Structure 1
Amino acid sequence: MKNVIETEGLRKEFKAYSSREGLGGAFRDLFTRNYKVIRAVDDLSFSIKQGEMVGYIGENGAGKSTSIKMLTGILNPTSGTVRVNGMDPHRQREKFVSSIGVVFGQRSQLWWDIAVQESFRLLKKVYKVSDEDYKNHMEHVIESLDIGPLLDKPVRKLSLGQRMRCELAAALIHNPPLLFLDEPTIGLDVLVKLKIRQFLKEMNEKYKTTILLTTHDLSDIEALCERVIMLDQGKIIYDGALAHLRQDFGEGKKIEFQFGEPVDETSLKHLSEELEVFWQQNNANSWTALLTAQEAGMSELIGRVVGAKKVLDMSIHEVSTEEIIRQIYEKGYQPEKRILT
Structure 2
Amino acid sequence: MNEENAIVMKNVVKEFKVLNRHEGLAGSLKDLFSRDYRTVKAVDNISIKIKAGEIVGYLGPNGAGKSTTIKMMTGVLEPSRGQIIVNGNIPYKNRTKNAENIGVVFGQRSQLWWSLPLIESFKLLKEIYMIPTEDYNKMLELYRELADIDNLLHKPVRQMSLGQRTLSDILAAFLHNPKIVFLDEPTIGLDVSMKARIRNLIKGLNKEKNTTVILTTHDMGDVDALCQRIVIIDHGSMVYDNDIEHLKRYFGSYRTVRLNMEGIGWKEILVDESKNNVMSVISEYQSRGNIKDIKIEDISTEEVIKKIYENAASKTA
TM-score under structure 1 length normalisation:
0.83
Superimposed CA distance per residue, residues 27-46 of structure 1 (whole angstroms, 9 cap, x where no aligned partner): 44343332211111111111
Give the Cα separation in 2 of the matches to 1:44 and 1:320.
Answer: 27
Superposed, which structure 2 residues align to 1:243-254 within 5 Å? 243-254=245-256
Residue 161 of structure 1 aligns to a residue in which SS?
Answer: helix
Superposed, which structure 2 residues align to 1:226-237 within 5 Å? 226-237=228-239
Report sequence identity in percent. 44
Instruction: Supply the AA of the counterpart residue of 1:31.
Output: F
Question: What residue in structure 1 maps to residue 280 of structure 2?
Answer: 301
**Paired residues of 2:252 and 2:299 also in contact (CA < 8 A):** no
Superimposed CA distance per residue, residues 213-247 of structure 1 (whole angstroms, 9 cap, x where no aligned partner): 11111101100112100110111101001112222
Question: What residue in structure 2 maps to residue 157 of structure 1?
Answer: 159
Question: What residue in structure 1 maps to residue 303 of structure 2?
Answer: 323
The structure-2 alpha-carbon separation of the partners of 1:194 and 1:26, relative to structure 1 and needing over 3 Å to count, comes to: closer
Q: Does 1:172 align with 2:151?
A: no
Question: What residue in structure 2 maps to residue 121 of structure 1?
Answer: 123
**Structure 2 unpaired stretches of 5+:** none
Deviation for aligned residue 1:183: 0.9
Deviation for aligned residue 1:124: 0.6
The structure-2 alpha-carbon separation of the partners of 1:299 and 1:174, relative to structure 1 and needing over 3 Å to count, comes to: closer
Deviation for aligned residue 1:289: 2.6
Question: What residue in structure 2 maps to residue 59 of structure 1?
Answer: 61
Superposed, which structure 2 residues align to 1:5-154 within 5 Å? 5-22=7-24, 24-154=26-156
Superimposed CA distance per residue, residues 190-227 of structure 1 (whole angstroms, 9 cap, x where no aligned partner): 12211111122222222211111111111011001121
Superposed, which structure 2 residues align to 1:211-250 within 5 Å? 211-250=213-252
Between 1:196-205 and 1:73-82, the stretch displaced more is 196-205
The structure-2 alpha-carbon separation of the partners of 1:130 and 1:298, relative to structure 1 and needing over 3 Å to count, comes to: same
Give the Cα separation in 2 of the matches to 1:238 and 1:102.
Answer: 24
Question: What residue in structure 2 maps to residue 195 of structure 1?
Answer: 197
Question: What residue in structure 1 maps to residue 272 of structure 2?
Answer: 292
The structure-2 alpha-carbon separation of the partners of 1:334 and 1:29, relative to structure 1 and needing over 3 Å to count, comes to: closer
Instruction: Supply the AA of the counterpart residue of 2:311.
Output: Y
**Paired residues of 2:271 and 2:278 also in contact (CA < 8 A):** no
Between 1:132-141 and 1:310-319, the stretch displaced more is 310-319
**Runs of 4+ off more than 3 Å:** 21-31, 256-261, 285-288, 299-304, 306-315
**Paired residues of 1:55 and 1:229 also in contact (CA < 8 A):** yes
Question: What residue in structure 2 maps to residue 333 of structure 1?
Answer: 311
Between 1:144-153 and 1:190-199, the stretch displaced more is 144-153
The structure-2 alpha-carbon separation of the partners of 1:300 and 1:96, relative to structure 1 and needing over 3 Å to count, comes to: same
**Paired residues of 1:246 and 1:252 also in contact (CA < 8 A):** no
Residue 91 of structure 1 aligns to a residue in which SS?
Answer: coil
Between 1:167-176 and 1:302-311, the stretch displaced more is 302-311
Superimposed CA distance per residue, residues 2-21 of structure 1 (whole angstroms, 9 cap, x where no aligned partner): 11110011111111113323
Give the Cα separation in 1 of the matches to 2:23 and 2:270.
Answer: 47
The structure-2 alpha-carbon separation of the partners of 1:23 and 1:306, relative to structure 1 and needing over 3 Å to count, comes to: closer
Deviation for aligned residue 1:50: 1.1
Question: What residue in structure 2 maps to residue 265 of structure 1?
Answer: none
Deviation for aligned residue 1:169: 1.2
Deviation for aligned residue 1:310: 6.0
Residue 204 of structure 2 aligns to a residue in which SS?
Answer: helix
Superimposed CA distance per residue, residues 98-119 of structure 1 (whole angstroms, 9 cap, x where no aligned partner): 1111112321001112221111
Give the Cα separation in 2 of the matches to 1:169 and 1:64.
Answer: 23
TM-score under structure 2 length normalisation:
0.89
The structure-2 alpha-carbon separation of the partners of 1:253 and 1:33, relative to structure 1 and needing over 3 Å to count, comes to: same
Give the Cα separation in 1 of the matches to 2:288 and 2:183.
Answer: 49
The structure-2 alpha-carbon separation of the partners of 1:253 and 1:126, relative to structure 1 and needing over 3 Å to count, comes to: same
**Structure 1 unpaired stretches of 5+:** 262-282
Instruction: Supply the AA of the counterpart residue of 1:298.
Output: N
Cα RMSD after superposing both structures? 2.5
**Paired residues of 2:73 and 2:84 also in contact (CA < 8 A):** yes
Residue 225 of structure 2 aligns to a residue in which SS?
Answer: helix
Residue 297 of structure 1 aligns to a residue in which SS?
Answer: coil
Structure with bigger gyration radius: 1
Superimposed CA distance per residue, residues 155-214 of structure 1 (whole angstroms, 9 cap, x where no aligned partner): 111111111111111111111121111111111111221111112222222221111111
The structure-2 alpha-carbon separation of the partners of 1:309 and 1:146, relative to structure 1 and needing over 3 Å to count, comes to: same
Instruction: Supply the AA of the counterpart residue of 1:148.
Output: D
Instruction: Supply the AA of the counterpart residue of 2:297.
Output: H
Give the Cα separation in 2 of the matches to 1:26 and 1:139.
Answer: 58
Give the Cα separation in 1 of the matches to 2:214 and 2:10.
Answer: 17
Superimposed CA distance per residue, residues 70-100 of structure 1 (whole angstroms, 9 cap, x where no aligned partner): 1111111111110011111111111111111
Superimposed CA distance per residue, residues 122-161 of structure 1 (whole angstroms, 9 cap, x where no aligned partner): 1111111111111122221244222222222221111111
